[in-house]
Amino acid sequence: MHNTFTPCLKAEWLKKRHSFSSWLVIIGGSFTPLIYMLVFFIYPKQLADLHQSPGFWKMLFLRSWETMSLLLLPMGIVLAVSLITQLEFKNNTWKQLHTAPVSFSSIYFSKLMVILVMMLQLFILFNFTTYLSAVIPSMLSKKVPFPLYEMNVFYFLKENSIFFITCLPMVAFQYLISLQFKNFLVPIGAGLALVTAGLIAHSWKYIYMIPSTYTGLHFMEAATNKPSGHNIIALSLGYFLFFVVLGYVLYIAKKEKG
């Protein structure tokens, strides 16, 4: 039995070169922090205010995560994941891929793995640019001091890990649906509908049932220090597993593979 996962993974990684999805990682990872950087340049007082608040880095981090977790990240996931699978539909390459001597499981999981690694890249870039959003204006502006505060690395690792886990259901859902439809608008529409439903249902008591809301729900927990009353991590992992398995079954069961 040949190991076909590694060559598949390498091939998938090559495919995303110069693709819009890889640009989306860069844009999505740096968009909010760059906006804040601009704001800090124009209104240095806002950065100065952050210096007054307890836990400078934590406040900066949560400020960046606010729009990211509630809207930008779920929407970015919808777009990036759909673009990855669309590479095959758009270029008419499913049939060629399915006549390569690799298992269907390798194809399915290698694509998913590439998406997850891209997510990881986005998180790293987001954290780094968030850091720069405070450092660069402080270096260039004489009105605010340089942030020399100690950084609680463990806190950031933990929070990033939780945000990452809360993204997984949306990634798996979008992956599942975008593998099924050739028309790009269908998965995009379904994903955005789910994100919008999550935003509309923000005060619904069963909001925890909607997987697109988990990053937002966790942000609320982190920002207010109040638990939501639901185990979001367990729910996220559960949904993720469910969508991945369902997506795999549907993909394998497809009668026509190109």
Partner 1 sequence: MPKILFGMQQLTQTTCFADQIAHFAEKSYLTAGKFLLLLYIKSRTMYSVQTSGVFHHFSENDPVLKDIALQVPSGSIYGFLGPNGAGKTTTLRLLLGLIKKQQGSILIFDKPIENHRMEILRNIGSLIEMPSMYGHLTASENLRIWQQLYQCPYSRIAKALETVDLANTGTKKVSQFSLGMKQRLGIAAALLHEPSLLILDEPTNGLDPYGMMEIRDLLKKLNYEHGITIVISSHLLSEIEKLVTHTGIISHGQMVFQGTLDSLVSRQLSASKLILNTSNNLQATDVLKLLQLDTSIENGMLTIPIPEKEMIAQLNRELVKANIDVYEINPVQKDLETIFMELINQTTHA
Q: Is 99 in the site for partner 1 (CB under 8 A)?
A: yes
53, 96, 152, 231: which one contacts partner 1 (CB under 8 A)? 96
For residue 43, report the phi and psi dihedrals to the nearest 5 degrees. Answer: -120, 80
d(CA 4, CA 104): 9
CA distances from 20 to 26, 82, 146 (A): 10, 11, 36
Task: Determine the interface stretch with partner 1 among 52-60, 100-108, 120-128, 197-205 (rule: CB under 8 A).
Answer: 100-108
Whose Cβ is closer to partner 1: residue 12's or residue 159's?
Answer: 12
CB of 97 to partner 1, least distance (A): 8
Residue whose entry in the numeric block shows the structure tokens 């209104």: 43
Which string of DSSP letters, residue by residue, matches 114-158? HHHHHHHHHHHHHHHHHHHHHHHHHHH-SSS--------HHHHHH
Task: Determine the interface stretch with partner 1 among 6-14, 38-46, 143-151, 244-252 (rule: CB under 8 A).
Answer: 6-14
Q: Is 117 in the site for partner 1 (CB under 8 A)?
A: no
**Nearest Cα to Cα of residue 12 among 70, 101, 95, 97:** 97
What is the total residue count of the chain?
A: 258
Whose Cβ is closer to partner 1: residue 7's or residue 147's?
Answer: 7
3-state secondary structure of 205: coil
Number of residues that bind partner 1 (CB under 8 A): 30
Whose Cβ is closer to partner 1: residue 8's or residue 162's?
Answer: 8
Give the N- to C-terminal CA distance of the chain in Å, as an integer.
25
7, 44, 147, 189: which one contacts partner 1 (CB under 8 A)? 7
Q: Cβ distance 50 to 60 under 8 Å?
A: yes
d(CA 151, CA 153): 6
100, 139, 200, 252: which one contacts partner 1 (CB under 8 A)? 100
**Which secondary-structure segment (H or E) carries 237?**
helix 232-253
53, 91, 161, 183: which one contacts partner 1 (CB under 8 A)? 91
Q: Which of residues 198-257 bind partner 1 (CB under 8 A)?
A: 255-257
Q: Is 102 in the site for partner 1 (CB under 8 A)?
A: yes
Q: Is 87 in the site for partner 1 (CB under 8 A)?
A: yes
CB of 18 to partner 1, least distance (A): 5
Q: Is 150 in the site for partner 1 (CB under 8 A)?
A: no
* Residues within the interface to partner 1 (CB under 8 A): 2, 4, 7-8, 10-11, 14-15, 17-19, 87, 90-103, 255-258
